[in-house]
Structure 1
Amino acid sequence: MRTNDVVIDKVKSWLSDHNKSYQWLADQLLISKSLVGHMLSGERTLQPERIRQLADLMDVSVMELVSEGVQDENLSVNLRGSTSNRRSKRDLEHLLFAIEDYIGLAEQVRK
């Protein structure tokens, strides 16, 4: 994914999560709402200075904003029901082991 697309996706997500509108963003950046629309639709390429302004506004670093990496938040999975026999319990334990193993390998690859 291109850097421009990564930033656009993160900005749109941030606006949605914080209940902010394109007009609010335009007011903060001192630009028109239509320019915000063009930037966030990908019609305009985001300039480095604009990316820095967006990062400041979102209270993240520029590197966080432009990187495509996975966030380091803990994943939570809720299972419904319960395991009723030894085989299903063993299968669930194997699944959990495989997940933990994958996470460990992914962290080693990132380093």
Structure 2
Amino acid sequence: MNQSIVNRIKSVLQLQRKTSQNLSEETGIQQMLIELMLLGERRIYPNELIAITVALNVEVKALLEPRDQQTPLQIVLNGELTNRRSKRAFESVLYAIEDYITMKQEYGKDGNTR
């Protein structure tokens, strides 16, 4: 199995704060097999990949397709911003992300102005 797919699965697990044990329980795949898959030592079969995507609530193509750097990021908000403080905090995070992207475009990876 392609290592980039394994890395994407690991990223989703980390984002969702799930362990190999959680994934095992939700997919019905033995925990040892999941750990071998995540280490890249065992192939992930198509039926297992489908079970993993269902358990992680992601589309199969999201794991298979390389992420295009030009694709805009999507922010999914679970719940509601119910008060001013939470709205300001969210706007602050969005501003920080936009600021980071602008600085990265301006200075690039090497830190020099383009």
Quickly name the TM-score band, shorter chain normalised: 0.5 to 0.7
Residue 72 (structure 1) aligns with: 72
Following superposition, the deviation at residue 78 of structure 1 comes to: 4.1
Residue 112 (structure 2) aligns with: none
Unmatched 5+ residue regions in structure 1?
80-91, 97-111
Q: Which has the higher contact order (CA 8 A, sep 6+)?
A: 1
1:26 corresponds, among 21, 24, 27, to 24
Task: Judge which range, 35-44 or 56-65, deviates more.
Answer: 56-65
Greater Cα radius of gyration, structure 1 or 2: 1
Residue 11 (structure 1) aligns with: 9
Structure 1 runs of 4+ aligned residues shifted over 6 Å read none
Q: Which amino acid aligns with 1:51?
A: L
Q: Say whether 1:46 aligns with 2:44.
A: yes
Structure in which a larger fraction of residues adopt helix:
1
Q: For this pair of structures, how many residues does the alignment match?
A: 80
TM-score by length of 2: 0.59
Q: Which amino acid aligns with 2:99?
A: V
Q: 1:69 to 1:31 in 2, by over 3 A?
A: same
TM-score by length of 1: 0.60
Q: Which amino acid aligns with 1:72?
A: P
**Secondary structure at the counterpart of residue 38 of structure 1:** helix
Per-residue CA deviation, residues 57-95 of structure 1 (Å, 9 max, x unaligned), is 22222111111123531762349xxxxxxxxxxxx9xx4
Following superposition, the deviation at residue 6 of structure 1 comes to: 2.0
**Secondary structure at the counterpart of residue 98 of structure 2:** coil
**Secondary structure at the counterpart of residue 73 of structure 1:** coil
Q: State how far apart, in whole Å, the 2-side matches of 1:40 and 1:55 are.
A: 14
Q: 1:78 to 1:8 in 2, by over 3 A?
A: closer
Q: State how far apart, in whole Å, the 2-side matches of 1:47 and 1:68 are.
A: 19
**Where do 1:55-94 residues align within 5 Å?**
55-70=53-68, 72-73=72-73, 76-78=98-100
